Structure 1
Amino acid sequence: MDRNGRGRPGTVVDVTPQETPSRDAADGPWHCRLHVVSGKGGTGKTTAAGALAVALATGGRRVLLTEVEGRQQIAQLFDTPPLPYAERKVASAPGGGEVFALAIDAEEALLEYLEMFYNLRRAGRALERIGAVDFATTIAPGVRDVLLTGKVKEAVNRPDGTRPGGRAYDAVVLDAPPTGRITRFLNVSAEVAGLARMGPIRTQADSVMAVMRSEQTAVHLVTLLEEMPVQETVDGVAELRAAGLRVGGVIVNMVRTPLLADEDLARAGAGRLDVEELAAGVKAAGIAPAAGLVDALVAEAAQHARRVALERAERGEIDALGRPVYELPLVADGVDIGVIYQFAELLRMQRMVG
């Protein structure tokens, strides 16, 4: 971050494996209607998605937080009962805002689709009873993704004449699949091209892509300052750009503040710490400076210095992507609803949302 606590855009580096320019979303604050949040498993993408939803709702807005992986992580995050296939309020935001949540189920989405467009919900229930719905979505995963993303698209575009702006929600946040699958999940037109070149499935896929590739959508990636998550983030950005999907910001989660000043880190990494000074500091703390204790502290300081150097190198990889970077700190005692509100405020302070 810069000295004002804002995300750093960094230098734009074109890693798109196409000749066309990157279609990255403009730098924040993000005024999109659909915020897709992805990240390698274990990076805390659901936590980041929940915090972003609360941040967007702050000031009196209504936001829908959705998930598509069937793991009920939103319910766990907000400490509520498991979510049904129905939108339910899970949190209030400062200034009168509201966060609703929805766990999208492919089978329920198909039944809703049949009812909405063909008035065939009873026929859909019959298909469900004989297992045809599950069979169809299993042998053709692209169809499942069309159904899931189609429900997200419907929520983004749903009209409501009683609300400012004429939409049911001011923004929708999607807790999406991990980075290894995010491009295929969002790029539904390509996924169903071999299955349906025309007809309702193809029409639905194309209408989904009209939203996913529009100016109202941004894909944000969550990472840790570790080699594998960062590499997945770099690869994910390249794949999203190649597919014409707009990359938003990068949220670096579980950030740890160095415990030593830069000069001490350099000495610790090089094995040049002043052992006598360290022993004096231990003694001043009221602890007997036994040789074994001092040696253990020297080894721990060296390990800390190596970790800080690695994290700074990985941060350089993230900065080189040319996207705004936002930071959320490591929370030693785990994430609860109070932490979600704190993270939401941090994202607002860093101007991820307006």
Structure 2
Amino acid sequence: MAIATELHVVTGKGGTGKTTVAAALAMALSGSGRKVLLCEVEGRQGIAQLFDVAPLPYEERKVAVGPDGGELYALAVDPESALLEYLQMFYRLGRAGRALDRFGIIDFATTIAPGVRDVLLTGKVYEAAKRVEKDRFVYDAVVMDAPPTGRISRFLNVNSELAGLAKVGPIRRQADSIMQMMRAPSTHVHLVTVLEEMPVTETIDGIAELTSDQLPVGHVVVNLTQPGHVSADARASLEDGTLDRASVATVLDRAGLPGAAAASLIDGGLDAVHRDQLQTAQRVELAGCGRPVVELPRLTDGIDLGALYELAERLKDLT
């Protein structure tokens, strides 16, 4: 049997670009002829938007060709379809399962028992990661665009969520199997953040919670970084006040530019220095988190397939 399929779980606070990072990581993993599956479990169809394809059904679809000829497939997992598949797989309830769906029982069950809902979502990812054809795993890697950092540990730790709901039976056995995969050496939970106080704090708290639950933390991905726009000399002059409005206005006048713009230029420079100081402080915080950190730049032209290739190149350390 081939080496176990890698599972990469990508989480992050809302607004940090978690889905974009998951897609770029899947693209990086699909290099050198590898076959990769990118899954989303929140029903937002974010993957379809990134790859500019029609909304994804509950079916694996090829969405891109990876570097050096790999293949990237995508799947949108929803709990209703996953439960119908589960009922057919374990109880052979084909038509009966669809009847339950029409009566709204499936939605009712997954609402009152969110632990069951998470088992169904992660269970489909588990099935894809463990699927075998011709004595080898179908996928070399599976990437999950997972829920936000605030609930990722609870989402992945399905055993504790089911403690009072299912102590025996097929769904309990499935939860146990999922937890074995979640804690396996081939699984990595990556956290996406930006260089702002709240997302960084949530990332550090998330690392602590995942570690406490014995879930394997991978990399911290700092997304949307921006280069400093103020030179070291200008920074020093702005900070000590020697770069004043009068001197800037004189230089602007000599260049044929309106000297009145001096105040705006100095204020903008001070804002940039302040932003750089805040980002530096957050980098220091992340440096102490005990996990490897990789940075991705803010791309000014937006995210398309070319941008995903560019970001994928920077995520090779995660592969």
**What TM-score does the superposition give when structure 2 sets the normalisation length?**
0.95
Query: Which of 165, 180, 183 is 1:213 aligned to?
Result: 183
1:93 equivalenced with 2:66 (yes/no) = yes
**SS of match in other structure, 1:95:** helix
Q: Deviations over 1:95-149 (max 9, x none)?
A: 1111100000111111111212222222211111111111100000000000000
Quickly say closer, same or farther: Cα 1:283–1:341, change in 2 above 3 A: farther
**Structure 1: gaps of 5 or more residues:** 1-30
Residues 140-179 of structure 1 correspond to what in structure 2 (within 5 A)?
A: 140-161=113-134, 166-179=136-149
Query: Which of 267, 272, 286 is 1:318 aligned to?
Result: 286
Quickly say closer, same or farther: Cα 1:93–1:285, change in 2 above 3 A: farther
The amino acid of 1:288's aligned partner reads P
C-alpha distance in 1, partners of 2:74/2:267?
Answer: 47
Q: Which residue matches 1:5?
A: none
Q: Aligned-pair distance for 1:336?
A: 1.7
Q: Deviations over 1:33-90 (max 9, x none)?
A: 0000000000000000000000000111110000000010000010000000000001
C-alpha distance in 1, partners of 2:76/2:251?
Answer: 54
Q: Which residue matches 1:196?
A: 166
Q: Aligned-pair distance for 1:261?
A: 2.2
* Aligned partners of 2:77 and 2:124 also within 8 Å: yes
Q: Percent identity?
A: 58
Q: Which residue matches 1:352?
A: 318
C-alpha distance in 1, partners of 2:257/2:134?
Answer: 69
Quickly say closer, same or farther: Cα 1:285–1:49, change in 2 above 3 A: farther
* Aligned partners of 1:156 and 1:169 also within 8 Å: yes
* Aligned partners of 2:5 and 2:129 also within 8 Å: no
Query: Which of 296, 306, 315 is 1:328 aligned to?
Result: 296
Q: Higher helix proportion, which one?
A: 2
**What TM-score does the superposition give when structure 1 sets the normalisation length?**
0.86
C-alpha distance in 1, partners of 2:94/2:273?
Answer: 61
Quickly say closer, same or farther: Cα 1:322–1:32, change in 2 above 3 A: farther
C-alpha distance in 2, partners of 1:219/1:294?
Answer: 48
Q: Which residue matches 2:219?
A: 249
Q: Aligned-pair distance for 1:265?
A: 2.1
C-alpha distance in 1, partners of 2:126/2:255?
Answer: 60
Q: Which residue matches 1:341?
A: 309
Moved more, 63-72 or 317-326: 317-326
* Aligned partners of 1:271 and 1:302 also within 8 Å: no
C-alpha distance in 2, partners of 1:219/1:284?
Answer: 56
**Structure 2: gaps of 5 or more residues:** none
Residues 61-80 of structure 1 correspond to what in structure 2 (within 5 A)?
A: 61-80=34-53
Please identify runs of 4+ aligned residues in structure 1 that moved more than 4 A. 274-277, 283-286
1:60 equivalenced with 2:63 (yes/no) = no
Quickly say closer, same or farther: Cα 1:122–1:161, change in 2 above 3 A: same
* Aligned partners of 2:32 and 2:68 also within 8 Å: yes
C-alpha distance in 1, partners of 2:239/2:97?
Answer: 64
Q: Deviations over 1:232-255 (max 9, x none)?
A: 101110110111101000110110
The amino acid of 2:91's aligned partner reads Y
* Aligned partners of 2:12 and 2:192 also within 8 Å: yes
1:265 equivalenced with 2:235 (yes/no) = yes
* Aligned partners of 1:45 and 1:222 also within 8 Å: yes
* Aligned partners of 1:269 and 1:306 also within 8 Å: no
Quickly say closer, same or farther: Cα 1:65–1:268, change in 2 above 3 A: same
Residues 108-187 of structure 1 correspond to what in structure 2 (within 5 A)?
A: 108-161=81-134, 166-187=136-157
Q: Which residue matches 1:43?
A: 16
